[in-house]
Amino acid sequence: MTTASAPPNPWKWVAIAAFVLLLASLAINYVYFGKYNSYKEKYDILYAQHQNLATEKQLYRTRAEQLEQSVYAMSDPATKTIHLPGTAPHPDATATVYWNTSSSEVYLHVNKLPLPAADKQYQLWAIVDGKPVDVGVFDISSDRALVLKMRAATNVQMFAVTLEKKGGAPAPTLDQMYVAGKVD
């Protein structure tokens, strides 16, 4: 007597094929997920660099516009150039003020002033009718020359720069005067 063999089970081969495809899919996902993470890290770095460059670009654009305004103001025929030589305690210090007598605009070019301590700040004064008038405080850094737009001033006889506590002072500290110059 011959025994009948069981009919072949097609689901067995389907299950094996599905298992092989699952393993292949897992391997491919593992490889591409690693690549995705690598590319994402590179993208994040490039994006951060792009943001930094955009910020720097805006900073340089602003500086260029300020310099353009400064040059325009300094070339105005109504603008006087006042050289501020160093005082006796600070003979190497120098600065230049550009004062427009029509518009009262004041620009300060820091030629040479020492870097102040962290808790100090320079302050520009206009002497008007013999009295000091605050024209603004400013910081300097060692990496570039400064041309700063300060507050407007009228009827000025003299300009001076003192070193004051951060934020400025209501009256100049005369023994901390670095530069001073009379208006001609």
pLDDT in tens, 138-153: 998 765 666 899 999 9
Residue 157's pLDDT band (cuts 50, 70, 90) = very high
CA nearest neighbour of 109 among 148, 69, 55: 148
Domain map of the chain by residue range? 11-75, 78-182
- Any residues with CB less than 8 A from the CB of 97 and at least 6 apart, and which? 81, 82, 84, 106, 107, 108, 109, 124, 159, 181
- Helices and strands in the chain: count of H runs, count of E runs: 1, 8
Dump pLDDT digits (tens) for 51-106.
Answer: 999 999 999 998 888 888 888 888 899 999 999 999 999 999 999 999 999 999 99
Fold of domain 78-182: Immunoglobulin-like (2.60.40)
